[in-house]
Amino acid sequence: MSCSSCNRVLTINEDERTLNNMTLTHGIYFLLFTTTLVISILVVVLSLVNREKKVEVEPNEAEKSLERLKYKN
């Protein structure tokens, strides 16, 4: 084996290492982006659903007593 072939093998290994690091970095970016996107979509959908759904709250005893007093006066 000559030195030029040794240098070429090292260059290929360094290129593969760089490619693997780039792939890992892109994978992490993709994971963060998709997670953020899904959470954003869920927040928008849930806020729209909550805006449409208005739950009628039954008054408690104190509020009922105040209403009765208003009607008596």
Q: What is the pLDDT of residues 17-43, one digit of tens each?
A: 766 777 888 889 999 999 999 999 999
Q: What is the pLDDT of residue 45?
A: 92
Q: What is the pLDDT of residue 43?
A: 95
Give the residue extent of every domain in the chain.
Answer: 3-72
Question: How is residue 10 written in tokens?
Answer: 């090292």
| Residues 38, 44: Cα–Cα separation, whole Å | 10
The answer for residues whose C-beta is within 8 angstroms of residue 67's C-beta and 6 or more apart is: 59
Q: What is the pLDDT of residue 54?
A: 66
> Is residue 15's pLDDT more than 80?
no
The answer for residues whose C-beta is within 8 angstroms of residue 59's C-beta and 6 or more apart is: 67
pTM, two decimals, is: 0.48
Contact 17/10 with Cβ under 8 angstroms?
no
| Residues 21, 16: Cα–Cα separation, whole Å | 9
- Residue 69 — very low, low, confident or very high, per pLDDT cuts 50/70/90? confident
